[in-house]
Amino acid sequence: MPWSWVQKADNNSEWLSAKIKEWTIQQETWKQQLLLEPEDLSSTVDMERLFETFPMIGGLDITPDKEQDDIAYVGIVVLSSKSLQVKYCQTHCVKLQVPYVPGFLGFREAPALINAVECLKREKVDCFPQVLLVDGNGILHPRGFGSACQVGLSLNLPTIGVAKSLLSVDGLNTLQIKEQICEEGKRWLPLLGSSNRVLGAALLSNECVKRPIFVSVGYRIKLLEAINLVFHTCRYRIPEPIRIADKISRQASSRDFC
């Protein structure tokens, strides 16, 4: 544990309690800026129009260092949304400022993800994406504001949260959802919590996949658009922008990039 965190850990319960209160207020405040609109999940999406709106699609993932808690490696990838041809691929070694606290992952990881996108804009603006897939959650989150929302709001860029596992949110049950999607033979199911709000969707990304991924709106995009983009970019279980970003960040973590 870094020395700054060790110092805080001496009064850990007080420090952590204060941070959680601060972060909770921040998430609730930021959530009001998402401007979510009612979803019509029975409509259809014009993929050609979607490709015109989002000609480049980015992916972000982060891998922690195996030995140092405050070091991680961000993978950022940009693909042509229609052809899925890789246009940009880079890793960044970053220093994380706060420890991991469940439900507040964005405060640990989002600053590093945002910085990677801002570096791309400075270095190669012609590869700047119009939408980002973030390994994490959007509004499918205990307070409706996951790391994908935090990244999108900060950058004012459409974002989609794509998670490999389901958070315990609004009464959603992972096992029940997996059974339902397999029994009904569907490729995706809307995630309706006890509040009867659509929080996202469970997707079986291709015909060989048995475990769903969980997609939710991050910022400035409709859920149905997000679902269609994720399906289009899935050659395997995980959409290509995130799969490649994960791969290169893991490769970086196995070497000394700092």
Q: b or e along 105-144 (b: 16 or more beta carbons within 10 Å of the residue's beta carbon)?
A: bbbbbbbbbbebbeebeeeeeebbbebbbbbbbbbbbbbb
Alpha-carbon gap, residue 57 to 79, rounded angstroms: 5
Number of domains the chain contains: 1
pLDDT in tens, 108-152: 999 999 999 999 999 999 999 999 999 999 999 999 999 999 999
Domain membership flag for residue 31: no
Domain membership flag for residue 217: yes
Length of the chain measured in residues: 258
How many CB atoms neighbour CB 49 within 10 A? 10
**pLDDT the model gives residue 210:** 85
Structural domain of residue 182, as residue ranges?
Answer: 42-166+174-253
Domain membership flag for residue 249: yes
Domain membership flag for residue 110: yes
Alpha-carbon gap, residue 67 to 187, rounded angstroms: 39
**Percent of all residues in the chain with a pLDDT value above 90, rounded to a whole number:** 80
> What is the CATH classification number for the domain harbouring 210?
3.30.2170.10
What residue ranges in 149-187 does DSSP mark as E strands?
Answer: 159-163
Domain membership flag for residue 83: yes
Segment 19-32 shows an average pLDDT of 96
Alpha-carbon gap, residue 131 to 152, rounded angstroms: 9
**pLDDT the model gives residue 147:** 98
Tokens of 211: 């475990």
pLDDT in tens, 37-80: 888 899 999 999 999 999 999 999 999 998 898 999 999 999 99
Domain membership flag for residue 34: no
The per-residue pLDDT of the chain, averaged, comes to 92
pLDDT in tens, 72-116: 999 999 999 999 999 999 999 999 999 899 999 999 999 999 999
Q: pTM of this prediction?
A: 0.94
Domain membership flag for residue 23: no
Nearest CA to 150 out of 58, 249, 20, 34 is that of 34
Domain membership flag for residue 27: no
